[in-house]
């Protein structure tokens, strides 16, 4: 008798964890004004952090085509602080995000590459400390589209390792200051 090796099947429910890195750029534009003058201040700051979280989903495989849905929740300590030319100290912080993503991929036995896309949500905390005049702060919940690519390899029937690169553009948080 000859043992035949069955190709890996990506169909089914899965749950797991992820660990990675996150980076971004915070660009700031502020308008300061009074009845007699106004000024626009522009600045930017890079930010990066480790990130980690949990995910769960379900996949269906039809021949070599794999499709699925996944939800994830991630923690990070992403923060940038800067001081503009007017001695206003500003910061923006994000500590979590979550998403719901669809997947469309192509599998060759234990290897799979997929396009992913969906919706992401996070909370930004924005602070502005005006030297000698006190501080203002606000929190904003923001939804945004998330797209990317994912490559995975099934090490065993139950353990999968992968690499995912995705992009989310959170948009603009408006802040107006009046003296």
Q: How confident is the model at residue 7 (pLDDT cuts 50, 70, 90)?
A: confident
Burial degree of 105 (CB within 10 A; 0-12, 13-18, 19+): buried
| pLDDT above 80 (res 49) | yes
pLDDT for 15-42, tens place per residue?
999 999 888 776 665 555 556 655 555 5
Assigned token pair, 90 = 């500003």
Provide the pLDDT confidence category of residue 178 given band limits of 50, 70 and 90: very low
Task: Give the tens place of pLDDT for each residue, 133-144.
Answer: 667 778 889 999
Reported as a pLDDT band with limits 50, 70 and 90, residue 45 is low
Using CA atoms, how far apart are residues 118 and 105, in angstroms rounded to an integer? 15
**Would you list the DSSP string of 110-173?**
TEEEEEEEEEEEEEEEEEEEETTTEEEEEEEEEEEEEEEEEEEEESSSS-EEEEEEEEE-----
DSSP helix/strand/coil, 176: coil
pLDDT, average across residues 93-114: 96
């Amino acid at each position: 008798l000859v043992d035949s090796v069955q190709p890996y099947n990506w169909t089914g429910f899965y749950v797991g964890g992820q660990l990675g890195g996150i980076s971004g750029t915070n660009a700031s534009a502020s308008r300061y004004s009074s009845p007699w003058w106004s000024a626009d201040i522009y600045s930017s700051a890079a930010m990066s952090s480790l990130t980690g979280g949990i995910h769960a989903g379900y996949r269906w495989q039809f021949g070599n085509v794999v499709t699925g849905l996944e939800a994830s929740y991630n923690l990070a300590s992403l923060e940038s602080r800067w001081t503009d030319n007017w001695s206003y100290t500003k910061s923006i912080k994000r500590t979590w995000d979550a998403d719901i993503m669809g997947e469309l991929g192509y599998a060759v036995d234990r290897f799979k590459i997929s396009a992913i896309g969906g919706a992401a949500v996070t909370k930004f905390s924005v602070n502005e400390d005006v030297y000698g005049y006190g501080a203002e702060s606000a929190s904003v919940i923001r939804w945004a589209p998330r797209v990317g690519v994912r490559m995975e390899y099934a090490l065993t029937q139950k353990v999968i390792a992968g690499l995912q690169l995705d992009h989310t553009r959170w948009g603009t948080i408006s802040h107006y200051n009046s003296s």
